[in-house]
Structure 1
């Protein structure tokens, strides 16, 4: 199953095609926004690293998918996340309620800004 994947491709290939397409959309959007990212698996999830730090994680669970842009980004943009279940670090969404491109871009920009500022 996807939890045991050792590469991002392996993780994505184990998913239902619709969920894979949704996570591929997010992956492509983040890579377009921050082209100098490195892909890896971290904590069992596909991860895009920027300046040797996790920029975002994304994952698929049984009932939802999750996007992990950082607690700072979630806190800063919490007014735009009211329609989603959130935790300190993650935003949960489904195929019926995907994350809009502009929201993903803004979440990534916040975290990239914080990494660039040296926040830890």
Structure 2
């Protein structure tokens, strides 16, 4: 079985293409920032959403009628850094935001770096 990256990227690209422009633009910008921070992560659709993977799922993006989300896969992560999240809405393992009101870059960087550290430590 040939499990090529191209097929995964096509699936991910198709997922983004189905979104309204405002959601797509916001999530594509977040996706680009995550790629900068974790260039060795691969992408695939997992549980119906674009997911960044190192050895295991690291982060995922989602869009719904109620807004956008960055899913950290680890509920304990956000609870442990609640003070650093400022006014960003979150619950469980999910940061929530709206088109036109992106997640602050320092929050994205902290969350991504913390998840990478957890993953590389085998947590």
Q: Name the residue aligned to 2:92.
A: 88
CA distance in 1, matches of 2:29, 2:105: 9
Equivalent residues of 1:72, 1:110 under 8 A apart: no
Gaps of 5+ in 1: 1-5
Name whichever of 9-18 and 81-90 sits farther off: 81-90
Q: CA deviation at 1:7?
A: 1.2
Equivalent residues of 1:65, 1:94 under 8 A apart: yes
Counting matched residue pairs gives: 113
Per-residue CA deviation, residues 37-83 of structure 1 (Å, 9 max, x unaligned), is 11000111110101x21111011000210111232331222113352
Aligned Cα root-mean-square deviation (Å): 1.5
Which structure is larger by alpha-carbon Rg, 1 or 2? 2
Alignment counterpart, residue 77 of structure 1, candidates 50, 62, 81 = 81
Alignment counterpart, residue 56 of structure 1, candidates 56, 59, 63 = 59
Q: TM-score, with normalisation over the residues of structure 2?
A: 0.84
Name whichever of 108-117 and 96-105 sits farther off: 96-105
Gaps of 5+ in 2: 1-9
How do 1:34-49 and structure 2 match up within 5 A? 34-49=38-53
Q: Secondary structure at the match of 2:115?
A: helix
Q: TM-score, with normalisation over the residues of structure 1?
A: 0.86
Name whichever of 75-84 and 34-43 sits farther off: 75-84
